[in-house]
Amino acid sequence: MSAEPIATPPGPWCPDPIRQQRADYTLEDLLRLPDDAPRVELVDGIIQVTPSPTLGHQDIAFLMRLWLHTHAPQHLRATQDVGVEIAPNTSRRPDVLLCRAEVPSDASLVKAADVVLAVEVVSPGTRRTDRFAKPGEYAAAGIPYYWRVEQDPVHVYAYRRGDRIGPGGERQYELVADSAELIELSEPFEIKLPVAEITP
């Protein structure tokens, strides 16, 4: 009598270690990920699994998306957690974004040229990326506006792409408003955002 091997289900999806070493993943690879793949970003050809956000983070992102959805003009569309094509080998997932309304509803990646505003809610595990890496990438990709939302207490920092040139030769963001109470801006549309309305 011989024992039959017990079939074990395959484990959860993870990036191929050889391709990770070669840093040769592309945006096309992201579109072919299986349904059970975790939430990822593609950075310079390397797939990075992003940490699960906290409830507080998600509450702020939801309230920000709702506020933008309610107040933005009809030619702009607010959405959450959709990939943005930064380069052929880089895609980021802003917590909230404002894009052109004509972007198709079935798009899982949005071109940077169609994004007007990217918003990141900073969590302990994403501080460095949200404060330094992502703004540099978004500005280099031509996204005109970037907001960073800090927690505890909720504080909004609003940036616009300025004329200052960074070390890589690309235009950088400049701070145009910051407050824990009220953000007033004339771009990308007339904005009067009471921070209490995005505070859980």
- Amino acid identity at 174: E
| Percentage of residues in the chain having pLDDT higher than 90 | 77
User: Is 82:39 a contact under the CB 8 Å cutoff?
Assistant: no
Please say if the pLDDT value at position 1 is more than 60. no
User: pTM, whole model, 2 decimals?
Assistant: 0.90
Q: Under a CB-based contact definition with an 8 Å cutoff, are residues 95 and 80 in contact?
A: yes
Q: Which residue, 52, 51, 48, is CA-closest to 20?
A: 48
* Structural domains of the chain in order of their starting residue, each with its CATH number: 17-49 (no CATH), 55-198 (3.90.1570.10)
Q: From CA 26, how far away is CA 34, in angstroms rounded?
A: 15
pLDDT, tens only, 162-175: 988 877 778 899 99
Site of tokens 């280099």:
140
Q: Dump the DSSP string for 77-124.
A: EEEES-EEEEETTEEE--SEEEEETTS-TT-SEEEGGGEEEEEEE--G
